[in-house]
Amino acid sequence: MHPHDIAHHAGLRKRLCFVVESGTDVRMVEGLAQRSDLTLLARRIVGGREIGHPSSVAVPTIVGPSSRARFAWAVLRHLLSRQQRYDVVLVQGYALAALSANLAMRLRGTPTAMLVCSPTEGYYLCRAECNAPGKRFRKTELLGLRVLARLNAYLGIRYVALSSHLRDVIRGHRAGGSVAVVPVYGVDLERFRPTSTSKEAIRRDLGLPVTGPIIFFSSRISPEKDAETFLSAIALLARQGRELWVLNLSGGHEEFLAAARSAGVAERIVAGDAVHPLRELPSYYQASDLCVQASREEGLGFSPLEALACEVPVVATAVGGLRETIVDGVTGWTYPRGDAKGLASRISEALSDPQEGLRRARNGRKMVEERFDSRLAFDQLDAIINDLSRPSVRREDRE
């Protein structure tokens, strides 16, 4: 064994390569960097960011081509290069980049785990339900996604899934490898917490309206997030005479505003770019009266968890990973996907009974403390990385 390898195996920190095909949250990057010698290999996001916000931790970063096919080739070449030595590779998803990482593992023996945060085929199927520009549904593309999922299931040895729902999706690919359920970066409960400061004072500090309830809707415009149903529900409530505000902080807030204009509710929208998820975001939840997650499909849904951690009530669609956290009557309100009238009714119920909302939100805070604490999540992920780096695992991968 190379002396450099011996030194790393003898220590606690592992050399980890995180392959990012579709952008990642800064909390994920910083959490991994604190516990490993991290190298980030990311596909260039044209008009966007490879990491949602600048990292406070210096991380060696290699930005590859924006083309998914060319990036997958770059991943394969990088991981097979004799100049690169990693103990473990963590690759995002189960698409082309994951296929390259799993091929490199089979050829070189570096243990690799697929980090699955969304149901790729489920998200793609949502395109068939709407006519979003640039998001056409094609049966051939869906078939390609399914083929990639099966190939990665055949080649891969480990998955890390964000939720039990995603574990079931992976099992549907007939995966033979192990699947661990870990809520990746979890929720920082020291930052996302209830506060004794009045909502009015927080709103004044943030420049938000000080009168009327505020509904936090963090999703971008995309087929799976179903902003259309949400805005239709807001239009229904406006016609009923409800005075309320919608807060949207996302990279797609301009698209959201355009959609709000089409729905006739633009005057009710307060929109801006995504804020830092730890330094700024908690205050916006604390200023809000309700959080809504209107997804047609969802891997887990962090926005409802962050809201509940701040003891803000939640209304969410009863789909995917949301069903594991938002239980009607216990931790929030739920409604059927695509049902604008049902969503409007649930929003009205939640806003009309603040005491019941607080009861459910406090139940939710307890759930987040027990299952989604960021420290626990990173401990679980770190244990998986350490287990993968064991010499016995590396020998098994070569066989």
Answer yes or no: do 81 and 139 share one domain: yes
Q: Which residue has the tokens 């996001």?
A: 45
Kindly tell me if the per-residue pLDDT of 156 is higher than 70.
Answer: yes
Confidence label for 240 from pLDDT (cuts 50, 70 and 90): very high
Note whether residue 7 is domain-resident: yes
Percent of the chain with pLDDT over 90: 88
3-state DSSP call for residue 246?
Answer: strand
C-alpha to C-alpha distances, 309 to 22, 244, 256, 395, nearest whole angstrom: 27, 23, 26, 43
* Phi, psi (degrees; rounded to nearest 5) at 188: -75, 100
* Phi, psi (degrees; rounded to nearest 5) at 159: -125, 150
Exposure on the CB side of residue 221, measured as CA atoms within 13 A: 18
**More confident of the two residues 12 and 227:** 227
The residues that bridge with 245 in the sheet, in sequence order, are 214
* Phi, psi (degrees; rounded to nearest 5) at 90: -115, 120
Lowest mean pLDDT among 40-44, 45-49, 322-326: 45-49
Q: What does the DSSP assignment read for 118-149?
A: S-HHHHHHGGGG---TT----HHHHHHHHHHH
Give the global pTM. Answer: 0.93
Which residues form the domain of 14? Answer: 3-186+375-398
C-beta of residue 231 within 8 angstroms of C-beta of residue 239: no
Answer yes or no: do 225 and 297 share one domain: yes
Answer yes or no: do 46 and 159 share one domain: yes
Question: Beta-strand (E) ranges in 294-341?
Answer: 314-317, 333-335
Which CATH number covers residue 329?
3.40.50.2000
CA 227, 124, 173, 298: dihedral to nearest 10 degrees? -10
State how far the Cα of 8 lies from the Cα of 386, in Å rounded to an integer: 12
Answer yes or no: do 74 and 100 share one domain: yes
End-to-end CA, the chain: 18
Cα Dmax for the chain: 73
Note whether residue 192 is domain-resident: no
Confidence label for 48 from pLDDT (cuts 50, 70 and 90): confident
Answer yes or no: do 261 and 379 share one domain: no
Answer yes or no: do 165 and 292 share one domain: no
**pLDDT tens by residue, 334-344:** 999 999 999 99
What is the DSSP-derived secondary structure letter of residue 165?
A: H
**pLDDT tens by residue, 69-88:** 999 999 999 999 978 789 99
What total of structural domains would you count in the chain? Answer: 2
State how far the Cα of 211 lies from the Cα of 204, in Å rounded to an integer: 10
Answer yes or no: do 245 and 363 share one domain: yes
Percent of the chain with pLDDT over 70: 94
C-beta of residue 159 within 8 angstroms of C-beta of residue 134: no
pLDDT at 179: 96
State how far the Cα of 157 lies from the Cα of 176, in Å rounded to an integer: 7
C-alpha to C-alpha distances, 70 to 64, 76, 153, nearest whole angstrom: 8, 10, 22
Answer yes or no: do 363 and 386 share one domain: no
* Phi, psi (degrees; rounded to nearest 5) at 196: -85, -10
356-379: average pLDDT? 98
Answer yes or no: do 23 and 115 share one domain: yes
Note whether residue 235 is domain-resident: yes
Kindly tell me if the per-residue pLDDT of 169 is higher than 50.
Answer: yes
pLDDT at 47: 86
